[in-house]
């Protein structure tokens, strides 16, 4: 399946785009998504950390991603 990953902050700079398209197996886990992202964008590994949000909620590594989910990469937040 193809999913769109929304990007913000430094992740948007790394992708050089506000979102990217990624090809994943059906019902991939968040962990495998991160692995695929880091394969294609090695600079992600230089970040102090990052999380994945699925449908506007922080996701766990073992959570599944489905076709119509809204997926975002969340670099370290720094609001306030």
Partner 1 sequence: MMSSSPINILITDEPLDVTNCSQWVMTPESGGIDVFIGTVRNATKGKTVLRLEFEAYQTMAIREIEKIAAAAFEQWPLQKVLIHHRTGVLQVGEIPVTIAVSAAHRDAAFTACRYIIDTLKQTVPIWKKEFFEDGEVWVAAHP
Q: Applying CB under 8 A, which residues contact partner 1?
A: 6, 8-10, 13, 46-48, 53, 56-57, 72, 74-80
Residue number with CB closer to partner 1 (23 or 70) = 70
Residue number with CB closer to partner 1 (31 or 74) = 74
Q: Could you give phi then psi for residue 75, rounded to 5 degrees?
A: -65, 170
> In terms of C-beta density within 10 A (0-12 exposed, 13-18 middle, 19 or more buried), how is residue 7 classed?
buried
Residue number with CB closer to partner 1 (26 or 79) = 79
Query: What SS3 class is residue 63?
Result: coil
């Amino acid at each position: 399946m193809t999913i769109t990953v929304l990007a913000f902050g430094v992740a948007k700079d790394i992708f050089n785009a506000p979102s990217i398209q990624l090809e994943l197996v059906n019902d991939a886990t968040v962990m495998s998504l991160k692995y695929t992202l880091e394969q294609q964008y090695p600079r992600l590994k230089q970040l102090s950390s990052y999380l994945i949000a699925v449908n506007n909620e922080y996701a766990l590594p073992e959570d599944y991603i489905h076709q119509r989910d809204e997926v975002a990469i969340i670099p370290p937040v720094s609001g306030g």
